[in-house]
Amino acid sequence: MQDIVKKAEALANSVKTSLKKLDIDESEKQLSELDKQISAADFWSNPSKAQAVTKKQAGLVRQIEPWRRLETELKDVQELLQTGDQTLSSDLEKQLSDLEKTYEDLKNGLKLQGPYDNNDAIVSIYAGAGGVDAQDWAGMLVRMYTRWAEKRGFKTKILNESAGEEAGIKSTDLSIDGEAVYGLLKGEQGVHRLVRLSPFNADNLRQTSFAKVEVLPKIDQPEDLELGDKELKIDVYRSGGHGGQSVNTTDSAVRVTHIPTGVSVAIQNERSQLQNKEMAMTLLRSKLAALKLEQHLDKLSELKGPTQSAEWGNQIRSYVLHPYKQVKDLRSGFISKDPNKVLDGDLDSFIEAYLNYGS
């Protein structure tokens, strides 16, 4: 019985430390404020803002409730242990074992405690060195992340895309909406290298291709990152490529530039200029939020333009299809011998390995 008491005390101390790290008291204060907003009579007068608030509320509830439940159940076990009733020892030992497992599962969630880890994400993919092969490789990566999202039940949408000359894409911005998508995918940022026998080479020679992946926290509410009108330069122009009757007949495409940093985004996929502007603003806020994280700053006014670390050279993963089959993450060292499975969206092992590596 004494061993069970010691185990319970050790678990209680661990839970207390984790709750402090989680700053759960502050999260409960935020939840209380959101509950007050939701109970207001005019709450749904602005549906877009209301949806954002309810989404944030649901996220906080998912974060808080399992920890508070664990804390309560552990206290109940400790109180029963204090009675010294030996007939309960077997049941209490099993309960404690279950609570230890619950704690380990919850503790893994602490790896996703960055400022934007609970946000949706925008994954931007750019073809690099390697010509048509690189453009095809970029298209393969879009499929890989889309398949990963589908398997998790996440929602995906292409925000912007520039098609390749013969195959694949030159660049794309892929929106992925779901629980903690940014926290899960942030480790995918960097250069991805593919080695294979080229399907676009008449001699079927081995080809090395590169593509850059940029992962941004999706910031689609203006109040989450406020931008002044004087900071922005907005240009409209005629869309090009596929997109319906309005393309090439109206100035619906929009380019928005953040003047202080020079960060610029352009959107032309939506049918109207207003829709393209809203999407461009979401993408711009997301890029600036990522830049704040990269430069460890609290204020937008202190931001500098993108640094070299966001450019070419940060190779993070190698995908080899020939002369052997292997996918290797160059940071965590995790290896898969089944690249086809990885390219079909089986990324969870790589994501977990990176989160463990970074924690």
- Please tell me whether the peptide bond between 323 and the residue prior to it is cis, using omega within 30 degrees of 0: yes
Provide the pLDDT confidence category of residue 1 given band limits of 50, 70 and 90.
Answer: confident
- In a domain, residue 71? The reply is yes
Using CA atoms, how far apart are residues 250 and 58, in angstroms rounded to an integer?
A: 41
Residue 141 has pLDDT above 80, yes or no: yes
Highest mean pLDDT among 155-169, 222-236, 267-281, 308-322: 155-169
Total length of the chain: 359
Using CA atoms, how far apart are residues 303 and 296, in angstroms rounded to an integer?
A: 9
User: Which CATH number characterizes residue 196's domain?
Assistant: 3.30.70.1660
Give residue 137's pLDDT.
96
- In a domain, residue 247? The reply is yes
Q: Which of 109, 134, 157 is the last residue in one of the domains?
A: 109
Q: Using CA atoms of 89, 90, 93, 97 in order, give the dihedral in degrees to the nearest 10.
A: -170
- In a domain, residue 264? The reply is yes
Give residue 310's pLDDT.
39
pTM reported for the whole predicted model: 0.77
- 130 lies in the same domain as 278: yes
Residue 242 has pLDDT above 60, yes or no: no
For residue 342, what are the contacts with CB-CB under 8 A and spacing of at least 6? 144, 319, 327, 336, 350
**Tens digits of per-residue pLDDT, 98-116?**
999 999 888 877 788 788 8
Give residue 211's pLDDT.
94
**Tens digits of per-residue pLDDT, 297-347?**
666 666 666 654 434 567 899 999 999 999 999 999 999 999 999 999 999
- In a domain, residue 114? The reply is no
- 219 lies in the same domain as 322: yes
Residue 204 has pLDDT above 80, yes or no: no
Q: Long-range contacts made by residues 157-161, C-beta under 8 angstroms, separation at least 24?
A: 158/269, 159/122, 159/267, 159/269, 159/279, 159/283, 160/266, 160/267, 160/268, 160/269, 160/279, 160/283, 161/269
- 198 lies in the same domain as 343: yes
Query: Angle at the Cα of 350 (from 354 to 173), degrees rounded to 5?
Result: 90
Residue 92 has pLDDT above 80, yes or no: yes
DSSP sequence for 128-191? -SSHHHHHHHHHHHHHHHHHHHHHHT-EEEEEEEEE-SSSSEEEEEEEEESTTHHHHHGGG-EE
What letter does residue 201 receive in the DSSP assignment? Answer: -
Comparing C-alpha atoms, which of 70, 72, 61 is closest to residue 101?
70
- In a domain, residue 256? The reply is yes
- How many domains does one find in the chain? 2
**Tens digits of per-residue pLDDT, 29-85?**
999 999 999 999 999 998 888 888 998 898 889 889 999 999 999 999 999 999 888
For residue 209, what are the contacts with CB-CB under 8 A and spacing of at least 6? 128, 129, 130, 133, 134, 136, 137, 193, 194, 196
Residue 295 has pLDDT above 90, yes or no: no
- In a domain, residue 232? The reply is yes
Give residue 245's pLDDT.
43
- 61 lies in the same domain as 142: no
Distances (CA, A) of 335 to 4, 184, 308, 326, 339: 39, 18, 28, 7, 10
In this structure, what are the phi and psi dihedrals at residue 240, rounded to the nearest 5 degrees?
-130, 155
Q: Which of 63, 81, 109 is the last residue in one of the domains?
A: 109
Q: Which of 109, 127, 143 is the last residue in one of the domains?
A: 109
CA 34 to chain CA mean position, Å: 23
- 184 lies in the same domain as 104: no
- 169 lies in the same domain as 306: yes
Give residue 143's pLDDT.
97
Using CA atoms, how far apart are residues 146 and 157, in angstroms rounded to an integer?
A: 9
Give residue 202's pLDDT.
74
In this structure, what are the phi and psi dihedrals at residue 356, rounded to the nearest 5 degrees?
-70, -40
- 153 lies in the same domain as 181: yes
- 132 lies in the same domain as 104: no
- In a domain, residue 181? The reply is yes
- 167 lies in the same domain as 311: yes
Give residue 145's pLDDT.
98
Give residue 272's pLDDT.
85
Give residue 229's pLDDT.
87
Burial class (CB in 10 A: 0-12, 13-18, 19+), 112: middle
Query: Quick one: tokens of 237?
Result: 């122009």
Sheet arrangement for strand 326-329: 155-163, 169-177, 121-127, 206-217, 190-197, 315-320, 326-329, 335-336
- The amino acid that residue 229 corresponds to is D
CA-based end-to-end distance of the chain: 35
Give residue 328's pLDDT.
97
- 176 lies in the same domain as 86: no
Using CA atoms, how far apart are residues 46 and 160, in angstroms rounded to an integer?
A: 27
Boundaries of domain holding 9: 2-109
Strands 253-258 and 232-237: antiparallel
Provide the pLDDT confidence category of residue 246 given band limits of 50, 70 and 90.
Answer: very low
CB-CB contact of 70 with 99 (8 Å): yes
Residue 247 has pLDDT above 50, yes or no: no
- In a domain, residue 226? The reply is yes
Average pLDDT, the chain: 88
**Tens digits of per-residue pLDDT, 171-190?**
999 999 998 899 999 999 99
Query: Quick one: tokens of 44?
Result: 């749904």
User: Which CATH number characterizes residue 40's domain?
Assistant: 1.20.58.410
- 257 lies in the same domain as 128: yes
Q: 338 pairs with which residues across the strands?
A: none
Residue 268 has pLDDT above 70, yes or no: yes
Average pLDDT (216-233) is: 86
Average pLDDT (262-284) is: 88
- 284 lies in the same domain as 326: yes
What letter does residue 243 receive in the DSSP assignment? Answer: S
